[in-house]
Each structure stands twice: as C-alpha cells, then as structure tokens.
Amino acid sequence: MSNIKNIFLVGVGGQGTILTSKILSKGFVENGYDVKMAEIHGMSQRGGSVTTQIRYGEKVYSPVIEKGSADIIVAFEKSEALRFLDYLKEDGILVINTQEIYPVTVNIGASKYPNNIIEEYDKVVGKKNVNVIDAYKIAGELGNIKCMNIVLLGALVKMFKLENINWKQIIKDSVPEKAIEMNINAFDKGYEI
C-alpha cells in the first residue's frame, strides 16, 4: 500500500485538531483521492488528548494508521508527539508546535512535564526531520490564538508539498465569515515559515 499517505495529528482538546483534519480531508477528496479519517476524542473533549488520522491514496481500506507508517506527525502541543513517536515511519516528518499545555496531573504535582522535549525529538528522529514552530506566538500576533491550527496547516502544506490543492477556498468554506481573513493570513504565515 505504498501509494497511500498517512497524516497523524495530535493535540489537546480545544486546539482545533479536528477542524484542521476536516480541512485536509476535504482537500484530498476534492482532488479525487480516496480518503479515510479517524478521530479519537470520546470523553476527553475538554483538556484531554485528541488524535486524528488521515489516510489518502487511490484506494484506502483501514481508517487507522499503523505503527511505523505515518509520513508526518503534527503535534499541536509540544509533548503530545511523545505518545505517538512510534507511529512515525523511517524518514517521516515531525512538526512540533512549541505550545505547552499542562494537564491537571502536572498542575497538582502528580506527574511531571518533561524538560528538553525538542532535544529529545532531535536526538531520536534526527534534526533534519524535526520542524519546530511557535504557532501560538504567530497566531497571537494575528489577533487570535484560535487560528493557531491554520498556521500549522500552512506549514504542513508546504512541508508535505500539497500546493496543488486550493486550500484557501476550503478554509473559506470551513470557518465563520468574520474569521476568514484572519485564517487566510494564518495560512500564509504558516506557509512562509
């Protein structure tokens, strides 16, 4: 099944991972690919881990990605990719947003938020395949941290060479009218990185 591409998005509830994967999937469908997408949220909608998996290609059977076969993992929160690093395939790309969100277990001192996470990614995956982005800051400069997910989308489109799809139109169709301009700017900023 080597003609199938696997994209793994991981983050924390409320960060917009699901909207991002919806936009991505829509783009692939409109370009004639077979697409399957799986979400895991369940009880953890607020503050819990959220993962979405997108697979596209000529014919896709399973909606879930297997270990060692993700072409790219995008972590919306810095530590979240640690959970899923074994899904990345050899020479796969890692995109890390530097935002840190402490779960309640860390806040009450019951678990520890690790130090030097980026260094660990560099060491394990290899620096050339690790892309670190401060999307939180970029989104803040654009006026609303909520468009952080679209900054990451822009970065992913560039790194994954998905330019042949009209993402801006899909973004326009997917966000509220008043947020369109900001999200288009967010996409451009992400793409420029």
Question: Least Å distance between CB 185 and other proteins?
Answer: 22
Beta strands in the chain (DSSP E): 5-12, 34-40, 49-57, 70-75, 88-97, 130-133
Question: Least Å distance between CB 66 and other proteins?
Answer: 5
Q: Tell me the CA end-to-end span of the chain in Å, nearest whole number.
A: 32
Choice between 105 and 166, CB closer to other proteins: 105
**Residue in 190, 153, 184 with CA at minimum distance from that of residue 18:** 153
Question: Least Å distance between CB 48 and other proteins?
Answer: 5
Choice between 120 and 188, CB closer to other proteins: 120
Distance, CA of 142 to CA of 168 (rounded, Å): 17
Residues that bind other proteins (CB under 8 A): 1, 12, 25-26, 29, 34-40, 42-49, 60-64, 66-69, 79-80, 82-83, 85-90, 92, 102-114, 117, 120, 124-125
Quickly list DSSP for 100-153.
Answer: ----HHHHTTSS-PPS-HHHHHHHHH-GGGEEEE-HHHHHHHHT-GGGHHHHHH
Choice between 105 and 192, CB closer to other proteins: 105
Choice between 89 and 168, CB closer to other proteins: 89
Choice between 65 and 193, CB closer to other proteins: 65
State the amino acid at position 179 in one-letter form: A
Query: Side-chain half-sphere of 85: how many Cα atoms within 13 Å?
Result: 18
Question: Least Å distance between CB 25 and other proteins?
Answer: 5
Task: Decide: helix, strand or coil at residue 47.
Answer: coil
Task: Decide: helix, strand or coil at residue 192.
Answer: helix
Question: Least Å distance between CB 180 and other proteins?
Answer: 21
